[in-house]
Amino acid sequence: MNRSITIALAMFTGAGLGAAVVQCLHAQARPPAFSITETTVTDQEGYFNEYVPLAIRSIEEFGGKFIVRGGKTVSITGSPPAPRILIVQFDSLEKAQAWVSSPAVKAAAPIGLKYQTAPRTYQVEGVSP
């Protein structure tokens, strides 16, 4: 009888640990998300001095990291992109959407629009790891 209880407890413990591990793996398997912005900067000095620090702070607050921040673009097919391209990676689409809806982004947007044309921004979910 004692041996049966020990085996049963071991089975329940193993099942509980297995369920916890599977739950952790599912949480880690969420695909990253990317926020992509195309814009034309009309006032470099104002853009980099006044707007960029606010934007960087808000991105870092939500765990975002820059993948592309400006740089040379080469158009292959279709319409050429705007001169400045930004790609920011977030842990999930939910985090990316929370960032773009945040008070910090809403406060910085009018400042950014003083120094750039209305940017084209969109978010896309990446591939699961």
Closest by CA to 88, choosing from 55, 117, 46, 48, is 55
Angstrom distances, CA of residue 95 to CA of 34, 35, 72, 123: 10, 10, 28, 11
Closest CA to 95 of 13, 44, 12, 30: 30
Distance of alpha carbon 3 from alpha carbon 102, whole angstroms: 57
> Taking the model in full, what pTM does it have?
0.74
% of the chain with per-residue pLDDT over 70: 78
Question: pLDDT by residue (tens digit) across 40-60?
Answer: 999 999 999 999 999 999 999
